[in-house]
């Protein structure tokens, strides 16, 4: 059945307030992107070499680099937490690569780790066996009073019905665009259907801009979203996992993208773009208009775009006769989790609460151009103001890449051929034939 987050879009955004920041995913991208900007991670060796904290302190393995905005806010929050509570915290900034490669072996080896963070799907699915049930701690601290209801529900969903992680820095995956290009091209309304996107791209191309760009990190999400728009996620995932490339919807997706390629809607470099070429050299520099990516994107390119870039956002369009529409998207958050073997679970939860509520949740939002997790923090960065209407419509949650990366053995083959399809070097029929091989 369709994966749904409990309730309507209003519940999804308790108190108004919604989600942001992830990144490119490795395994069947759970998303993103941790969801997070995982691509350029290197360990902060000065912190990573430490393995134990003092006997009365906490050990926290962080997915961030100490130099990232998230790492800087975390460091400040930890120092304030220790000053206020007297609880020492050994923060080890591992980066995305470090934590993904090192956390599970460390936990298996019995390394002293009290809490850690990463993407919602990875934490709950890949590392689910190591997680402490947080229901009682959340209840004892009245945590859900100002938490984002939709995200808490998402954490319970991926946790098998139990709260095993606490979300922060929410994110959503959608079509991000340059509003200035839309204005110059005379595109007055965001596209809600594939036909409307076609018409918008024609105007953008006529105005002298590249309508759509992408790269090797994110391009497969286009395939997954289109396949899931037609079938819903569950069937789309079944097609990818079981290699049902004869399903008519696969050719339908391919023909839609072949058509756009023939019309010149894609970047001339789309078949060879290696991340972050599409976002840095085309979208951020104002030559390309649209890029399917996550709400962490404005933060990743802010040094290129500057303060005056006008960001727009719309949900991946509905397709004719499709099962899902603009109410469905991949969204989630980074999450904190507590090691079920930790002897300091209550102190660990205090630290999580200190960081995800109030002052530091707000500061993280502003410093990283992310969406606040605390429903009492209602001021979003201006770069994300157009994300709100997208999120308010969301009712259905797709996992990362909306099925396209659900078969890790096929991911490189699917990516290679989809990039060729978008680049115009193979036809829709050849695309399907190559997958069947």
DSSP E strands, 135-196: 166-178
Measure the CA–CA gap between 277 and 189, rounded to whole angstroms.
Answer: 28
The DSSP call for residue 188 is: -
Tokens of 221: 């999400």
CB-based contact 251:429 (threshold 8 Å): yes
CATH of domain 9-170+332-398: 3.40.190.10
Measure the CA–CA gap between 16 and 396, rounded to whole angstroms.
Answer: 18
The residues, any chain, with a CB within 8 Å of residue 161's CB and separated by 6 or more, are: none
Torsion angle of C-alpha atoms 167, 170, 174, 176, degrees rounded to 10 = -160
Closest C-alpha to 249, from 222, 223, 214, 271: 223
Write phi, then psi, for 164 (nearest 5 degrees).
-120, 5
SS3 49: coil
Residue by residue, pLDDT tens for the chain (437 residues) are: 333 333 333 334 333 333 333 443 333 333 334 444 344 344 443 333 443 434 579 999 999 999 999 999 999 999 999 999 999 999 999 998 899 999 999 999 999 999 999 999 889 989 999 999 999 999 999 999 999 888 898 899 999 999 999 999 999 999 999 999 999 999 999 999 999 999 999 999 999 999 999 999 999 999 999 999 999 999 999 999 999 999 999 999 999 999 999 999 999 999 999 999 999 999 999 999 999 999 999 999 999 999 899 999 999 999 999 999 999 999 989 999 999 999 999 999 999 999 999 999 999 999 988 889 998 988 888 999 999 889 888 889 998 899 999 998 999 999 999 999 999 999 999 999 999 99
Does the pTM surpass 0.85? The reply is no
Tokens of 189: 């309304």
C-alpha Rg value of the chain to the nearest Å: 21
Provide CATH 3.40.190.10 ranges for the chain.
9-170+332-398, 173-328+400-436
Task: Identify the architecture of domain 173-328+400-436 in CATH.
Answer: 3-Layer(aba) Sandwich (3.40)
């Amino acid at each position: 059945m369709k994966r749904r987050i409990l309730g309507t879009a209003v519940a999804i955004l308790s108190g108004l307030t919604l989600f942001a920041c992830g990144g490119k995913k490795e395994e069947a991208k759970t998303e993103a992107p941790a969801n997070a900007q995982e691509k350029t991670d290197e360990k902060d060796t000065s912190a990573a070499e430490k393995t134990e904290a003092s006997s009365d302190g906490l050990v926290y393995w962080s997915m961030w680099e100490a130099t990232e905005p998230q790492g800087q806010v975390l460091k400040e929050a930890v120092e304030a937490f220790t000053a206020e509570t007297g609880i020492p915290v050994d923060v080890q900034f591992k980066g995305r690569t470090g934590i993904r490669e090192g956390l599970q072996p460390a936990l298996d080896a019995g390394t002293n780790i009290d809490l850690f963070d990463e993407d919602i799907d990875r934490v709950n699915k890949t590392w689910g066996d190591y997680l402490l049930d947080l229901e009682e701690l959340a209840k004892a601290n009245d945590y859900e009073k100002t938490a984002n209801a939709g995200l808490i529900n998402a954490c319970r969903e991926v946790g098998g019905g139990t709260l095993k992680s606490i979300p922060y820095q929410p994110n959503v995956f959608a079509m991000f665009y340059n509003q200035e290009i839309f204005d110059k091209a005379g595109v007055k309304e965001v596209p809600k259907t594939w036909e409307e996107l076609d018409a918008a791209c024609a105007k953008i191309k006529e105005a002298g801009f590249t309508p759509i760009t992408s790269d090797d990190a994110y391009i497969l999400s286009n395939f997954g979203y289109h396949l899931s728009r037609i079938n819903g996620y569950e069937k789309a995932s079944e097609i990818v996992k079981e290699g049902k490339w004869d399903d008519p919807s696969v050719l339908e997706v391919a023909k839609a993208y072949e058509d756009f390629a023939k019309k010149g809607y894609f970047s001339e470099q789309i078949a060879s773009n290696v991340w972050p070429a599409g976002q840095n050299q085309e979208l951020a520099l104002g030559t390309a208009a649209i890029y399917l990516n996550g709400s962490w994107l404005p933060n990743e390119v802010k040094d290129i775009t500057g303060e005056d870039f006008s960001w727009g956002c719309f949900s991946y369009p509905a397709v004719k006769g499709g099962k899902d529409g603009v109410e469905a998207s991949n969204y989630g958050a980074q999450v904190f989790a507590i090691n079920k073997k930790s002897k300091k679970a209550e102190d660990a939860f205090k630290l999580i609460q200190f960081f995800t509520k109030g002052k530091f949740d707000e500061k993280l939002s502003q410093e990283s151009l992310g969406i606040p997790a605390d429903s009492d923090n209602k001021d979003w960065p201006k770069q994300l103001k157009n994300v709100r209407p997208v999120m308010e419509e969301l009712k259905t949650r797709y996992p990362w890449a909306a099925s396209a990366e659900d078969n890790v053995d096929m991911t490189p083959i699917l990516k290679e051929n989809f990039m060729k399809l978008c680049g115009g070097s193979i036809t829709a029929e050849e695309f399907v034939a190559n997958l069947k091989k």
